[in-house]
Structure 1
Amino acid sequence: MSVDFIPNLSSSEPGEVEEKFASCDTGNIISAFLSSRDTRPPVLPKELDFKAIFQAPIALPSWLTEEDINYYAGKFNQTGFTGGLNYYRALDLNWELTAAWTGVQIKVPVKFIVGDLDITYNLPGAKEYINGGLKKEVPNLKEVVVMEGVAHFLNQEKPEQISAHIVDFIRKF
């Protein structure tokens, strides 16, 4: 989402984007975000008609049920989207608050697992960093696993494979 579209960082009050989300079916919004396979960052320009995007229900992937969507939609209907959006509103602040840990290495053994369709994996420079530069920050990085055909919710999309990776990693100790 473009930063200029979510400007009220210092407020917990809903902004423009929340108003636009409120005009749409929450279940359709949740379905669209959870089942997306678009590896580009989500950008929702101000002039975009959200109702047109989130109008029709989306065919859910096998790992995501209507019951799941109803659960998440019910929670977002209670709380709104402000909390989640505030994470993105505060990205610069998060960097400032964690500045004291810049350069500190993670020294415990690590197995890093990511989906090849995850938006964060496809941000400019992320693949190169994960497959090369991460080792400098995490010197005890044992393995990087890039799962094919998997997006951001890998523990839901491929639970058996994720569990096997975790068990395999733990057994090495």
Structure 2
Amino acid sequence: MLRGWQITGLALLAGIALGGYVQGLRWSADVAERGQKASDEISAGQQAVIAGQAFQFQRFNEIARQANQYGINIRAQSDEKQRVYRTIIKCEPASRRCVPDDVASRLLDYTNSLRASAMHTATGKSDAASVSAITTACRLTYAQAVYWIDPLLTVIDQANSQLSGIREIEGSRNH
């Protein structure tokens, strides 16, 4: 038979064991809860990054679409101006006069250097067929120069619009 102090000792020992077991369960629950909170925080952070990137992509696409639409609009305006200029120049006798050779040569050389820098495979030399067509009595007439002006301004305007879009994108990326 068990004596009173033995029963008390066993009950005390059982209480301690039961308390340790409950405490262990509580610690495990706390660890699991902290792990879940950390996982939730990581997930929320990832969702915020993904949402931010999606917003940036949407904004970048909108800026690119606006720049493209602007380019289409100014190209259409330029084409209309070209038709008007061609009509006016047909009747203008001064349009057949030659631009001085040094100006025409500089313009041609600069055009070829721009083309060569834009086209990595190009050597910068003119096509023999185009040179023979140019080296007639006149390298460039005033009418031809006028025909170049508006398309040139249109291309510059398009490039400036694209650069403005890039600056806007970079500005929004930095903020």
TM-score range, shorter chain: under 0.3
Greater share of residues in helix: 2
Greater share of residues in strand: 1
Higher relative contact order (CA 8 A, sep 6+): 2
Task: Tell me which structure has the larger Cα radius of gyration.
Answer: 2
TM-score (norm 1): 0.22
